[in-house]
Structure 1
Amino acid sequence: MTTIIDITSFEVTIKSLIDLFDIGRPQIIEYLKREELSCDDFLAYFSINESNLSTVDFLVTSLHVTTNDDECKSLNEIGLVNSIDAVTLNTPFNRHLKKHGIDIDLKMGEIKYNKQTYTFGQKFEGWSQSEERRLLEHIAYKFYCDRQINGFFCTDNALSYGGNVNRRPELMNNIANLLNYNKLVEDWSNNSNNKCYVIKFAIPLSTYSVESFTNTTTFDNFKEKDIDLLKKKTIIDYSLSNIYNYVNHQGYVCERLSFLQPDSRVKSSDFIGIYSDTEYQKTL
């Protein structure tokens, strides 16, 4: 059995729990009166065997903020991609770099611009004290440590997140800083054809990195089934927290970031919706 777990708002969160466990809305609201709110306590309260979770495949939704100048044509063709694919495939981002005479060679670990070569290397080797080196290290970090697609399991407003990703790709700003070439970002931001979109998608739980669900970074002793259970129980924890906060704190939705596996893509067939920034604001 496969079920969609959507915690992007109160109504879809509570519907997800109702559908998953076949429990009525009044019973879930009544449960919120307990002192402890957790997946383990929830399962015990409703006499649900933890092993039941292993029989269900979760498709979990996220929201992702992006900008493009082709009315999402490339998104529908290629899907959402990580930062390496963004500068190697035929994306609006890559076309913008080429238009400005910027060439990125990932095999050599170089950026070439205006007859100069900037070498960021083929792996991230840590942060130095040199401000000049740090500009290069930011590029290496983005490609080798932070290249994954990021999003929100839930948030009050995806458009207000830091980094100005509703105006331009974060990596574009890193490249502009390295080259001391603000026009790269300005031309993107000032292009009337460049518009902001919020993409809602649903993907298998396994596509999300474990870091989306825990601060623990070592899983050497974890079996695949243990990681799957950890993810499922955590997303249920998030669901209960969402419902509690909405009912008891005037509709507040806490921010939960989602991180995909580094080399994952999100196919357009996984999209639930593509919303302009105006359309998205109306859903808040």
Structure 2
Amino acid sequence: MIFDIQSIASSEKFIEEFFNTPIIKLIEKYIIQYNSNFDEFWIANKEYIDSVDISDLKFKVIHVTSNMDECSEIRTNGIKNLQRVLSEKTTLYTLLSNHGIQFDIKNRILINKDRVIDIDYKKYCNRGNLSDYDKKVKNIARKVYTDYQVNGFFSIKDPISYGTNIHKRPEFIFNLVELIPELRKMENHWVENSKGYIITFLAANDQFQNISFYDFEDIYYNKKEQELNLKKWLLYNAIDCIIDCSINNTGIIAYMNTNTIIRPEQILECSEITRE
């Protein structure tokens, strides 16, 4: 079974497979018998829902990116977290190195030509009255040490309208330019020589951070309770997509575990973005 709410049709398919019932009957029942009230629907069907095996469930996610090699690196090596992208021989690593930028992840430093910048995030969190410069350094440190996981969307109405033109160049380059303005030329080079892509992939439940599905209180629940709450999240969002006949404009974000790599065999499609 695949949880796919990228469209109304795919949401209907998931609900049909989950309940093993034609979607038209389910929706009529939801609207007429339960007055489109999800809580009533949940309570009435909880026993059946609890019996459904989702151990092999996969999630369809889209990831917005840009690159200069028509996704060759992604197709070969998969999608990696920011720490690995900055440490391994990737396109971004090479481009930064050519402009005098290197990251020593282990020792928490950023080297800008002959200048060493401390990017120990905890140090900046424990300091007050940061200068504008230090705030920019802190933002880089936060991205590298606390927000470096692969992210995507379970659903979003317009993926290229989200954030900071991530379909034109990596957001991290934008952050670096804020700190080191002379890297603007490098940023322009990326924008002018790259294409934007929507990468579609499948992932298993254990590849996601819990915050993708659960409130923080769920960490105190046992395994069965967590699974039931996950089912509630799945059904609520799929039904919401169908009933509202729309995809969430702000997006339902998929937060991958920090150590998760989206392997090449998980990737379903790399679609070029053909509009601004």
Give the alignment's TM-score, normalised by structure 2. Answer: 0.89
1:125 Cα deviation (Å)?
4.6
Q: Which residue of the partner structure matches residue 211 of structure 2?
A: 211
**Which residue of 2 is the match for residue 161 of structure 1?**
162
Partner of 2:20: 22
Is contact 2:2–2:60 with CA below 8 Å preserved after alignment? yes
1:38-117 to structure 2, matched below 5 A, reads 38=38, 41-45=40-44, 49-54=48-53, 56-117=55-116
User: Does the Cα contact within 8 Å between 1:200 and 1:272 map onto a contact in 2?
Assistant: yes
Cα distance 1:17–1:73, how it changes in 2: closer, same or farther (>3 A)?
same
CA displacement at 1:236 relative to structure 2: 1.4
In the TM superposition, 1:254-273 aligns within 5 A as 254=249, 255-273=251-269
Partners of 1:218 and 1:47 in 2: how far apart? 21
Alpha-carbon distance between aligned partners in 2 of 1:47 and 1:171, rounded to the nearest angstrom: 44
Tell me: CA distance 1:55–1:203, structure 2 relative to 1, closer, same or farther (3 Å).
Answer: closer
> For residues 273 and 48 of structure 1, what CA distance do their matches in structure 2 show?
37
Partner of 2:223: 224
RMSD: 2.2
Distance 2:247 2:257 in 1: 29
Contact map agreement 1:153 1:258 (CA 8 A) in 2: yes
Aligned to 1:177: 178
Structure 2 gaps of 5+ residues are: none
Distance change >3 Å, CA 229–CA 205, structure 1 → 2 = farther
Match of 1:198 in 2: 198
Deviation (angstroms), 1:228:
3.1
Q: Distance in 2 between matches of 1:96 and 1:151?
A: 24
| TM-superposed deviation, 1:206 | 2.1
Give the 5 Å matches for 1:124-163: 125-126=124-125, 128-129=128-129, 130-163=131-164
Whether contact under 8 Å (2:108, 2:118) holds in the other structure is yes
Q: 2:61 is paired with a residue of what secondary structure?
A: strand
Amino acid of the structure 1 residue aligned with 2:26: I
Identify the structure with the greater helix proportion. 2
**Residue type of the partner of 1:190?**
E
Indicate conservation of the 8 Å contact 1:206/1:228, yes or no: no
Which residue matches 1:187?
189
CA distance in 1, matches of 2:54, 2:203: 17
Q: Distance in 2 between matches of 1:138 and 1:47?
A: 44
Q: 1:240 to 1:173 in 2, by over 3 A?
A: same
TM superposition shift of 1:220: 4.4
Provide the residue aligned with 1:5 in structure 2. Answer: 3
TM-score normalised by structure 1 residue count: 0.86
C-alpha displacement of 1:32: 4.1
Contact 2:5 2:241 in 1 (8 A): yes
Q: CA separation of 1:47/1:210 partners in 2, compared to 1, >3 Å: closer, same or farther?
A: closer
Q: More deviation in 91-100 or 5-14?
A: 91-100
Whole-Å separation in 2 of the counterparts to 1:88 and 1:58: 33
Q: Distance in 2 between matches of 1:177 and 1:42?
A: 49
Distance 2:195 2:253 in 1: 23
Are the counterparts in 2 of residues 64 and 200 from structure 1 also a CA contact under 8 Å? yes
- Aligned-residue sequence identity (percent) comes to 23
224-233 vs 105-114, which deviates more?
224-233
- Give the AA of the match of 1:66: T
Q: 1:83: how far off?
A: 0.9
